[in-house]
Structure 1
Amino acid sequence: MSNDIPEREIYIVIDPQRVRHTSLDAAILLAERLKAGINARLISDELLREVARLPFTTEIVTASGEERELASASLDQLQRQKSALIADFLEQRVRPRKVSFRMEETSEHFSFQVVLERRRDLFLPAVKKTRRRTGMAQGGAPLQAVQWVYDNCQASDRCFLLLQDLVAAGLTRRILVYGNKAIPSRIISALSESGARVYWISTADTGELLRKLQSGTDADLMLLPASFTVDLGEAALRELNRQSEAPILVVG
Structure 2
Amino acid sequence: MSSARRHILIALDMHSATDAGLSTLVSIARRLDATLSGLYIEDSQLMSAAGLPFSTEINYLSAEERILDPEELLRINRLASAQARHLLEELSARDKLECTFAVESGKVAIQSLSIQGCDVFLPGRSRKSLTRKQVTLQLRQLVLIYENSGIFERMLEVARLLAANGMVSDITIVSETPLPAEITGKLSIEDVRWHFQAVSSTRPEQLRALRLNSASLVLMPKDLLTNLTERQWFELLEQLPFPLLLMD
For normalisation by structure 1, the TM-score amounts to 0.78
Whether contact under 8 Å (1:176, 1:198) holds in the other structure is yes
Bigger shift: residues 22-31 or 42-51: 42-51
Residue aligning to 2:165:
169
User: Relative to 1, partners in 2 of residues 1:160 and 1:45: Cα closer, same or farther, differing over 3 Å?
Assistant: same
User: Relative to 1, partners in 2 of residues 1:78 and 1:241: Cα closer, same or farther, differing over 3 Å?
Assistant: closer
Q: CA deviation at 1:218?
A: 6.3
Structure 2 residue matching 1:206: 3-state secondary structure: coil
Residue aligning to 1:106:
104
1:113 alignment partner AA: L
Residue aligning to 1:233:
228
CA–CA distance in 1 between the matches of 2:118 and 2:193?
29
Residue aligning to 2:32:
34
Whether contact under 8 Å (2:170, 2:192) holds in the other structure is yes
Whether contact under 8 Å (1:12, 1:41) holds in the other structure is yes
Asked if residue 49 in structure 1 is aligned to residue 47 in structure 2, the reply is: yes
Q: CA deviation at 1:137?
A: 0.4
Q: CA deviation at 1:211?
A: 4.9
Residue aligning to 1:137:
134
2:20 alignment partner AA: T
Asked if residue 242 in structure 1 is aligned to residue 204 in structure 2, the reply is: no
CA–CA distance in 1 between the matches of 2:14 and 2:29?
21
Bigger shift: residues 212-221 or 49-58: 49-58
CA–CA distance in 1 between the matches of 2:57 and 2:222?
40
- The percentage of counterpart residues that share the same residue type is 23
CA–CA distance in 1 between the matches of 2:52 and 2:79?
23
Bigger shift: residues 18-27 or 169-178: 18-27
2:98 alignment partner AA: S
Q: CA deviation at 1:248?
A: 0.4
1:60-209 aligned within 5 A:
70=69, 72-110=70-108, 111=110, 112-115=112-115, 118-130=116-128, 136-137=133-134, 140=137, 143-185=139-181, 187-188=183-184, 190-206=186-202
1:233 alignment partner AA: L
CA–CA distance in 1 between the matches of 2:71 and 2:7?
33
Q: CA deviation at 1:82?
A: 1.5
User: Relative to 1, partners in 2 of residues 1:219 and 1:52: Cα closer, same or farther, differing over 3 Å?
Assistant: closer
CA–CA distance in 2 between the matches of 1:148 and 1:222?
6
CA–CA distance in 1 between the matches of 2:196 and 2:77?
43
Whether contact under 8 Å (2:174, 2:197) holds in the other structure is yes
Residue aligning to 1:3:
none
CA–CA distance in 2 between the matches of 1:135 and 1:192?
30
Unaligned runs of 5+ in 2: 59-63
Larger Rg: 1
CA–CA distance in 2 between the matches of 1:208 and 1:58?
29
Unaligned runs of 5+ in 1: 1-5
RMSD: 3.6
Whether contact under 8 Å (1:174, 1:196) holds in the other structure is yes
Bigger shift: residues 30-39 or 169-178: 30-39
CA–CA distance in 2 between the matches of 1:120 and 1:109?
18
CA–CA distance in 2 between the matches of 1:29 and 1:105?
23
Whether contact under 8 Å (1:151, 1:181) holds in the other structure is no
Give CA-to-partner distance per residue, 1:35-74, whole Å, 9 cap, x none. 22211111113234334444677899xxxx9x8893x444
2:149 alignment partner AA: C
Whether contact under 8 Å (1:16, 1:82) holds in the other structure is yes
Structure 1 residue matching 2:86: 3-state secondary structure: helix
